[in-house]
Every structure is written in C-alpha cells, then in structure tokens.
C-alpha cells in the first residue's frame, strides 16, 4: 500500500496567512497589534528554541511578542506575580508560560492563574470545560488546545473522514490526549483512549481507522499497531542520539508503518508547525474576543 506522507508546510502557511490577515484587521480597528507574552523559566535549550520560534512567527505574521525570562532562583512567587501583572495589562492578549517549569513548581496552578481570555494554550479549567461542553464552538471561535486543534486541521486538509470511523488516541495527557479525544468525538468518530495500563495495546490500536500517537516514547508505534489503510498522526517529539548526533523522532516508527498506513504525518515537519500556527491563531482570536 502506498503511504501518503503529509508534511504540513503548506497547511501551516495557509493557517498563518489567515491569522495575519485578521491581525492586520485588528491593527486597523484597534490601532495596535495582537500581542503574545511568552514567559520562560530557566535555560532549557529546547525551550529556548521553541520560544524563539514562537516569537519569530508572531512578528512575521502581524503580532507583537513580549519575552520574559526568569531563573529558578527567582522563585515560584515571582512567576505568579508576573502572570498576575500580565493578566492586568490591556496591551497583552495572550499569555504562554513555556513548559517544563522547574521541578516542584506547580504548573497546574500557573495554568489556572492565567486569565481564561488570555489562555492561548487552552489549558485553563474554564477553557477545558468549554471544550468539553461545546467542542465545535471552541474549535471555531474559542481557544482550543493547540496541538490537538492542529491535528484536526491536518485531518480536514488531508481529506480524512471521521464520521462513523474508529479513532484511537495513545496517551491521556491534559495537553493532547484528552482534548484530542473530545475533538475527534465532535467529528462523529467513535473514540478509544489508550494508555500505559491498556491491556493488549497493539490489538486495540489495530482496530483504529485513525490512530493518534501521543505517548512520548520514541518510535514506539510500529506496523504491529496499525490497521492496513489507517491514518496515523504522530504527535511525539523525542530526541535520540544517532552517530553521535541528536535527532528528533516521533512516537511512530515511520519506516515500519510505511506501506501499511495510508496516511502519515512525519516528525519533524508534521504536527509541530501546526501547533505554532494554532497558537498564533488563538492569540489573534483572543485579541478580538477581548475587545468585543
């Protein structure tokens, strides 16, 4: 079977172009650009790269970006103080606190501290509840969790029908697994969530017409997990050392599933660019929603 490898460069560019158009409209109406505040704690190299990419993408698409860098020595209370100040700033539309935070810092408390109207990650309990109550509305006009919302755009662009299909999500995190399941349900799929305690994981996954891998284990999903003709979405971002060099790989063993799956998102150049594109879209939405 031929496997369609779906790279998201064109789709992410299309999503960003639409967001840029809206950002320009906001500037014309409100005389300022939609603005995202990004907070980074510590010196994690990967986080620095992600923050730099987000800032660069904001500025390239008609948004302003404000970067704030704290050290672990500043303490958790300093982070709380900063988030509270950003909540009160009228010129800040979105707030993103980059994960991971230092060990023993309460990440859920910070997610709940960010005002729901500025929660462009979609992690605040109010936004999580809104997604549960009316998933389609949040996807269309609200602040959905960026990565699963990006997956939904990929499925739509790729012509993958969800209605009546069996979708399996490997992973039950609040960031990807749970919101992904709700979004797939909103597309009229029958959804199964699998995790580390699932009995006979391979057999469950082999029943999936759409398989979303978000388990955080490098090249974990092989052809033994994949129903012939299934669409496979790889959400994983893992770093492996090969020949003395670090390489980014997904949760799916691309070589193994090629020829079995009909549709596959690669890593890199798959879900990742869409996560950032949805973040930009969410920031512009937040700007309009706050000014309505």
pLDDT in tens, 166-217: 999 999 999 999 999 999 999 999 999 999 899 999 999 999 999 999 999 9
Q: Which residues contact 290 (CB under 8 A, 6 or more apart)?
A: 93, 117, 118
pLDDT of residue 181: 98
pLDDT of residue 215: 95
Q: Which residues contact 269 (CB under 8 A, 6 or more apart)?
A: 7, 8, 9
pLDDT of residue 292: 84
pLDDT of residue 44: 80
Q: Is the pLDDT of residue 46 over 80?
A: no
pLDDT tier at 246 (50, 70, 90 boundaries)?
Answer: confident
Mean pLDDT of 118-146: 98
Name the phi and psi angles at 194, rounded to 5.
Answer: -110, 160
pLDDT 10s digits, 5-18 = 999 999 999 999 99
Q: What is the mean pLDDT of the chain?
A: 96
pLDDT tier at 126 (50, 70, 90 boundaries)?
Answer: very high
Q: Is the pLDDT of residue 39 over 80?
A: yes
pTM: 0.96
Q: HSE (CB half, 13 Å, CA atoms) of 13?
A: 5
Span 145-272: which CATH code?
3.40.50.720
Say whether 237 sits in a helix, a strand or coil. Answer: coil
Query: Cβ-count burial of 29 within 10 angstroms (0-12 exposed, 13-18 middle, 19+ buried)?
Result: exposed
Report whether the peptide linkage leading into residue 100 is cis, meaning its omega lies within 30 degrees of zero: yes
Q: Are strands 238-242 and 245-249 parallel, antiparallel or unpaired?
A: antiparallel
pLDDT tier at 48 (50, 70, 90 boundaries)?
Answer: confident
| Residue 140 neighbours by CB distance under 10 Å | 10
CATH architecture assigned to 30-115: 3-Layer(aba) Sandwich (3.40)
Name the phi and psi angles at 35, rounded to 5.
Answer: -130, 130
Report, as residue numbers or ranges, the catalytic residues. Answer: 54, 98, 121
pLDDT of residue 243: 81
Q: Give the Cα separation of 186 and 233 in Å (integer).
A: 17
Tokens of 152: 């939904």
pLDDT of residue 45: 78
CATH 3.40.50.720-classified regions of the chain: 145-272
CATH 3.40.50.10860-classified regions of the chain: 30-115
pLDDT tier at 93 (50, 70, 90 boundaries)?
Answer: very high
Mean pLDDT of 250-254: 97
Q: Is the pLDDT of residue 74 over 80?
A: yes
Q: Is the pLDDT of residue 282 over 90?
A: yes
pLDDT 10s digits, 254-272 = 999 999 999 999 999 999 9
């Amino acid at each position: 079977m031929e496997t369609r490898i779906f790279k998201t460069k064109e789709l992410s560019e299309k999503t960003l172009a639409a967001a840029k158009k809206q950002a320009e409209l906001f500037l014309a109406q409100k005389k300022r650009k939609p603005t995202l505040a990004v907070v980074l704690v510590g010196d994690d190299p990967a986080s620095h790269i992600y923050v730099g990419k987000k800032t660069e993408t904001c500025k390239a698409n008609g948004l302003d970006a404000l970067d704030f860098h704290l050290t672990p020595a500043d303490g958790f209370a300093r982070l709380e103080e900063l988030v509270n100040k950003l909540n009160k700033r009228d010129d800040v539309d979105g707030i993103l606190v980059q994960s991971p935070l230092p060990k023993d810092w309460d990440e859920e408390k910070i997610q709940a501290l960010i005002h729901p109207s500025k929660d462009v990650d979609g992690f605040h309990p109010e936004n999580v509840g809104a997604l549960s109550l009316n998933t389609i509305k949040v996807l269309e006009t609200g602040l959905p969790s960026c990565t699963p919302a990006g997956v939904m755009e990929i499925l739509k662009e790729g012509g993958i029908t969800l209605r009546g299909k069996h979708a399996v999500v490997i992973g039950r995190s609040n960031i990807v697994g749970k919101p992904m399941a709700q979004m797939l349900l909103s597309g009229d799929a029958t959804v199964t969530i699998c995790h580390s305690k699932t009995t006979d994981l391979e057999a469950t996954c082999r029943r999936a017409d759409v398989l979303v891998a978000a388990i955080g284990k490098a090249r974990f999903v092989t052809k033994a997990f994949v129903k012939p003709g299934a669409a496979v979405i790889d959400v994983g971002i893992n770093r492996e050392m090969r020949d003395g060099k670090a390489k980014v790989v997904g949760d799916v063993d691309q070589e193994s599933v090629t020829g079995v799956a009909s549709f596959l998102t690669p890593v890199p150049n798959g879900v990742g660019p869409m996560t950032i594109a949805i973040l930009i879209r969410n920031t512009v939405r937040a700007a309009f929603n706050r000014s309505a």
